[in-house]
Structure 1
Amino acid sequence: MRHTVTVEAYRGTGAYGPVYDPPATARALVAETVKQVRSPTGTVTVSTAQVYAGPGLDCPPGSRVTLPSGRTTRALTVADHTAPGLPAPESTEVYLE
């Protein structure tokens, strides 16, 4: 994991707008490439960056993520990859706006 990202986990909407947890850093691998993804609402959208981090990264869709380049973006989809009992690495994959 060559990069460090800052994640402000989305917790919902409050009286004054979106509510986020305090910023937390995580080691990750960042790929700033354009890919088509399906959002949680079912619409097809474009992801301009992907983050691959260790298992258990707390980054639900809607979270703010600051990339090593300094750009702040929002999480579109999150996938946890596990392989219980198998000798395979576990990870969390986050597609960003």
Structure 2
Amino acid sequence: MNWAEFVEEYVPEPHEITVEALTGAGGFGDVYGSPVVVGPCVVDESTRRVAVQTQDAAGHNDTSGATVLCPRGTTAPAGSRVTLPSGRITRVLAVAVLDAHGLDLPEHVELSLE
């Protein structure tokens, strides 16, 4: 089952998000790519704890205010800006690419947002 089939069968109201991928830092702060509409997505605006990878090996835990499941191939590295269907603009804390591992499951990308 691919992501599109999964969404069609199990998600009654899929959403779209807008992602501005973090591309680096400049003299005036973070630099973002052009906005890209990504969908269909599953958006869950509930709070949970997530592990966040940092430059050192320690990392840290943070509070995520939303989780978005989106199609495989979505480009949204940590620090990217995301506009949710509610209009809220937030940043990506952590990204997980979930592989099907040969099972009949949909491969997708999970974004943990501030």
What TM-score comes out, normalization by structure 1 length? Answer: 0.94
Cα offset, 1:83, TM superposition: 2.1
Aligned length: 97
Secondary structure at the residue paired with 1:88? coil
**1:90 and 1:32 mapped to 2: Cα distance?**
21
- SS of aligned partner of 2:75: coil
Determine if the alignment matches structure 1 residue 35 to structure 2 residue 52.
Answer: no
Q: TM-score of the superposition, structure 2-length normalised?
A: 0.81
The question of 1:86 aligning with 2:103 is answered: yes
Partner of 1:10: 22
| Alignment correspondent of 2:37 | 25
The offset of 1:7, in angstroms, is 0.2
2: CA distance between counterparts of 1:61 and 1:40?
A: 9
Match of 1:48 in 2: 65
Letter in 2 for 1:7: V
Matched with 2:76 is 59
Task: Give 1:84 deviation, angstroms.
Answer: 4.6
Q: Answer with 1 or 2: which has the greater Rg.
A: 2
Measured after TM superposition, the shift of residue 19 of structure 1 is: 0.7
Letter in 1 for 2:32: Y
Identity among equivalent positions (%) equals: 45
Comparing both structures, which one devotes a greater share of its residues to strand? Answer: 1
Q: Distance in 2 between matches of 1:52 and 1:39?
A: 17
Match of 1:68 in 2: 85
- Identify unmatched segments of 5+ residues in structure 1: none
Give the AA of the match of 1:86. Answer: L
Code of the residue aligned with 1:32 in structure 2: it is E
Q: Which moved more, 1:84-93 or 1:67-76?
A: 84-93
Deviation, structure 1 residue 38: 1.2
> CA RMSD of the aligned region, Å?
1.1
Counterparts of 1:45 and 1:83, CA distance in 2 = 27
